[in-house]
């Protein structure tokens, strides 16, 4: 074994590992988006609002930790809904990893 052979295999393993990590991250993000869509739809239905399909999008993603034990990503998804069928409001769903931590709806139903 020469140093060139070792470095060549090391760079191949590094590339393979990077690809695996990117695929894992993409799949986890798609799963979290699905959770955000379900949560937004259920929250709108609970409040009597109309959830506007296709409007859920990732606003930001940040690494987070709590007490050094709970490491992961904090994802904020925004979505649109309508309280009267005409106007459009914005809501958001915040997830820590796959755990929903908050749902915010911009306006409450006016009577």
The answer on pLDDT for 95 being more than 70 is: yes
Cβ atoms of residues 105 and 93 within 8 Å: no
Task: Look at 16 and 23; give whichever has higher pLDDT.
Answer: 23
For residues 60 and 53, give the distance between their C-alpha atoms in angstroms, rounded to a whole number: 20
Whole-model pTM: value is 0.80
In angstroms, rounded to a whole number, what is the distance separating the alpha carbons of residues 39 and 102? 10
Contacts of 72 (CB under 8 A, 6+ apart): 63, 64, 65, 96, 97
What is the spatial distance between Cα 18 and Cα 8, in angstroms, rounded to a whole number? 15
User: How far apart are the C-alpha atoms of 26 and 33, rounded to whole Å?
Assistant: 11
Q: What is the mean pLDDT of the chain?
A: 86
Q: Give residue-wise pLDDT tens across range 54-87.
A: 889 999 999 988 776 778 899 999 999 998 888 8
- At residue 4 the predicted structure's pLDDT band, cuts being 50, 70 and 90, is low
What pLDDT was estimated at residue 2?
66
């Amino acid at each position: 074994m020469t140093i060139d052979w070792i470095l060549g295999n090391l760079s191949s393993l590094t590339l393979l590992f990077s690809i695996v990590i990117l695929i894992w991250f993409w799949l986890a993000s798609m799963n979290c988006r699905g959770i955000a869509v379900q949560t937004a739809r259920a929250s709108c239905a609970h409040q009597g609002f109309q959830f506007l399909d296709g409007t859920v999008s990732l606003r930001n993603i940040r690494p987070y930790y709590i007490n050094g034990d709970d490491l992961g990503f904090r994802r904020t998804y925004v979505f649109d809904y309508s309280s009267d069928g005409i106007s459009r409001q914005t809501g958001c769903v915040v997830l820590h990893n796959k755990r929903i931590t908050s749902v915010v709806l911009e306006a409450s139903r006016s009577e």
